[in-house]
Amino acid sequence: MKKGLLFLLMSMITISSFSQGLRINTYGSYAFKDRVDFYADDNDYYTGTLKDGFMYGGGLEFMVDDDYGIELTYLRMNSYANMTYYQGGKKNTNYSLATNYILLGSNRYFDTKSKMIEPYGGAQIGVVIFNYKNPTTLATGNITKFAWSLKSGVNVWATKQVGIKFQAQVSSAVQSIGGGLYFGTGGSGAAINTNSSVFQFGLGGGIMFKLGKDK
């Protein structure tokens, strides 16, 4: 987790040192809950819900030209995972869960008659890190998965340098690469299940700052 934040910070410093078309984007959104399941038989199953919550973070975007930007993004959500599983009997645990996305991708902007209105769409890939804690055993751990994200929205510029962002986004932890996500009594595991990908749909926005002139 700390390494991911350090990488993001160093990337921001490196890009800002030569960028003349730099934007800093802040994000805040409501992320809806989603299910995660693995079922082998009556004595080997994990099923549960990743609870909804507030997702927040930021991104550093370098404008390649007026219509395209490359963005490095970090998003975090503190929530819970209510999991039912079989381990010497049917059990249920409500795990504390922190979800951390580190994503890199591009944004496409569309021209309008107004310079204040800027519709866009974007796609990113990267990793998601789940940090969890079992409240019963106090066991902790983390799971890292490949992730992708799609977003669409509109920027409304209040001034030439400051704007408000309205956005819808879906982020996914791809479980088909490396197995399914589940939690056990004292740890975690991975089971092959191509249908267990986690999808987190969010609605929200943020504030953006333009630090240089767009190319």
Q: What is the pLDDT of residue 202?
A: 94
The burial class, CB within 10 Å (0-12 / 13-18 / 19+), for 213 is exposed
Q: Which residue matches tokens 């994503």?
A: 103
Mean pLDDT of 47-71: 91
Q: What is the pLDDT of residue 180?
A: 56
- Per cent of the chain over pLDDT 70 is 74
Q: What is the pLDDT of residue 39?
A: 61
- For residues 184 and 153, the model is more confident at 153
* Average pLDDT, rounded, for the chain: 81
Beta bridge partners of 57: 27, 75
Evaluate whether the domain defined by 2-210 bears CATH number 2.40.160.20: yes
CA atoms within 13 A on the CB side of 30: 2
Q: What is the pLDDT of residue 8?
A: 54
Least confident residue range of 9-18, 33-42, 169-178:
9-18
User: Element (H or E) spanning 94, and its range?
Assistant: strand 90-109
- Going by C-alpha positions, the residue among 183, 171, 165, 168 that lies closest to residue 126 is 171
Q: Give CA separation, 84 vs 91, 127, 179, 182, 184, in Å.
A: 6, 26, 18, 10, 9
Instruction: Write down the domain spans for the chain.
Output: 2-210
Phi, psi of 206 (to 5 degrees): 170, -170
Under 8 Å between Cβ of 77 and 96 = no
* pLDDT of 140 higher than 90: no
Largest CA distance in the chain: 65
Q: What is the pLDDT of residue 194?
A: 41
Q: What is the pLDDT of residue 192?
A: 41
Chain center to CA of 112? 29
Mean pLDDT of 37-48: 67
Mean pLDDT of 32-53: 76
CA-CA-CA-CA torsion sign (61, 63, 66, 69): negative
Q: What is the pLDDT of residue 187?
A: 47
* pLDDT of 153 higher than 50: yes
Q: What is the pLDDT of residue 9?
A: 55
Three-state secondary structure along 107-122? Answer: EEECCCCCCCEEEEEE
Q: Grade residue 13 by pLDDT with cuts at 50, 70 and 90.
A: low
- Per cent of the chain over pLDDT 90 is 45
* pLDDT of 106 higher than 80: yes
Q: What is the pLDDT of residue 112?
A: 87
Under 8 Å between Cβ of 76 and 59 = no
Q: What is the pLDDT of residue 199?
A: 85
What distance in Å separates the CA atoms of residue 155 and residue 18, rounded to the nearest whole number?
24
* pLDDT of 215 higher than 90: no
Q: Which residue matches tokens 């395209």?
A: 68
Phi, psi of 15 (to 5 degrees): -65, -40
- For residues 55 and 39, the model is more confident at 55
* pLDDT of 167 higher than 80: yes
